[in-house]
Amino acid sequence: MSTINPAFEDAIRVTPQGPGKYNAHLRPEWCIGTVPHGGYTTAVFYRLALTHFAHAHPTHYNSPATPISLQLSFLRRTAAGPATLEVEDAKLGARTSTIHVKLLQTSEKKPSELEVKVTGYITVSPASAEVGISAPTGWRPQPAVPRGSLADGGVDLAALARTGHDGAWTKRDPPYPEFRRAATQLELYGLGKGPVQQQQKKQQSRTMAVDQWARFRPGGDASGRWTDAAVVYLLDMFPMALDGLDTMSATAEARDRGTSVSDHKAKFWYPTVTLNVDLKKRLPAAGVEWLYSRVVTKAVRDGRTDLDVTVLDEKGEIVALSTQVGLVVSASRNLGSRKMQKL
């Protein structure tokens, strides 16, 4: 097991059981309510792909094959506890290979049976086969990233880590940590509450864009680092954006019912329906301390929302992209008859 982020590596551990079959154990500390977080579950699938090729096809490539693309459908809510993972080789190629994956757990309606909770496809490629042109496109986040204290407008990340503040940026606590426990596994920095920051926030609200800098803190480990597997967790981790959706959802429901907005705050759950991930850049083996995310929502309609996430490194290079379809539903649908596990 990697010595980087041992708590996280243990939480996404996948164990071979036989041809095309593996076991995992989904952890309650990586849940939203009673349901394992979608990004965390995606990280388990990331580990599944690595484990499958190391176990089933150890000589197919001359270097480790890592995921470059994941397309997952979350069919039913998962639960903390044992999970069975199944893999079918859809294509074994010279440059890319694609596997069909499933996560199965006990059926809530038929406890004697397993049912598919999550399914999808993962495409892998070894770094040695990734050859071809690289060309700049000139893309930059719009609106521009909020300014830091450096002369060029960049963020002094050392100062941000040391003091919790730099330019427009300040350390933020994730809302509703008792329910969104998976959000406590990272350290987040976003716009502060001063007049300059609020003006920038007002400009961004026109496009429902949320910015964040993040450090990985799995299990409270202050030495945590972002690795390739951890990036897919980050692509689905944006509590400040969900806080904005909470406000929007509560306002809409209060308007429809003629009640106070505060009566409806923190009563929503945003389960992922589909998640598509494009991993653009492999991170160093030792990981990195900081990653930036731009999270954009374009429309919320009929209880369904979209989320578009771009992750950049300190150099401003794109590390990963994701798009997802999510639902806006009552938090009661997360809990149902379940009780949240005590940690």
Task: For the chain, give every domain's residue range.
Answer: 6-127, 157-335
- Note the Cα 145 to chain centre separation in Å: 20
Mean pLDDT value across the chain: 89
Question: Among 43, 337, 31, which Cα is nearest to 177's?
Answer: 31
Residue 217 contacts by C-beta under 8 Å, 6 or more apart in sequence? 184, 185, 186, 187, 224
- Across the range 78-99, mean pLDDT stands at 98
Characterize the bridge pairing of strands 268-269 and 329-330.
antiparallel
| One-letter identity of residue 94 | A
Consecutive H or E run containing 9: helix 6-11
- pLDDT for 126 equals 96
Identify the DSSP state of 341: P
Q: Do domains 6-127 and 157-335 have the same CATH topology?
A: yes
For the chain, what percent of residues have pLDDT higher than 70? Answer: 86
- pLDDT for 263 equals 52
249-302 pLDDT, tens digit each:
656 666 666 665 555 455 778 899 999 999 999 999 999 999 999 999 998 889
* Token reading at 53: 């090729």
* Token reading at 135: 């060309």
pLDDT at 336 over 80: no
- The total of other beta-carbon atoms located within 10 Å of residue 68's CB is 20
Task: Tell me the HSE value of 171 on the side-chain side, using a 13 A CA sphere.
Answer: 13
Q: What b/e readout covers 194-230, taking b as 16+ CB neighbours within 10 angstroms?
A: eeebeebbeebeeebbbbbbbbbbbbeeeebbbbbbb
Lowest mean pLDDT among 14-18, 20-24, 171-175: 171-175
pLDDT at 243 over 90: no
* Token reading at 207: 């496009």
* Token reading at 290: 């900081």
pLDDT at 1 over 50: no
157-199 pLDDT, tens digit each:
999 999 999 999 999 998 778 888 999 999 999 987 654 445 5
| One-letter identity of residue 128 | S
Is the Cβ–Cβ distance between 177 and 240 less than 8 Å?
no
Question: Among 115, 196, 154, 176, which Cα is nearest to 290's?
Answer: 154
- Note the Cα 12 to chain centre separation in Å: 14
Distance of alpha carbon 38 from alpha carbon 33, whole angstroms: 12
Strands (E), the chain: 15-18, 21-26, 31-32, 35-36, 65-74, 81-92, 97-106, 114-126, 165-166, 169-172, 186-191, 209-216, 268-269, 272-279, 291-296, 300-301, 304-312, 318-327, 329-330
- Across the range 218-222, mean pLDDT stands at 95
Multiple choice CATH, 6-127, 3.10.129.10, 3.30.43.10, 3.30.450.40, 1.20.120.520: 3.10.129.10
* Token reading at 222: 């202050």
- The total of other beta-carbon atoms located within 10 Å of residue 284's CB is 11
CATH number assigned to the domain covering 157-335? 3.10.129.10
Question: Among 138, 122, 149, which Cα is nearest to 276's?
Answer: 122
This prediction has a pTM of 0.90
- Note the Cα 323 to chain centre separation in Å: 11
Lowest mean pLDDT among 132-141, 253-262, 325-334: 253-262
Is the Cβ–Cβ distance between 44 and 254 less than 8 Å?
no
- Across the range 232-254, mean pLDDT stands at 77
- pLDDT for 3 equals 67
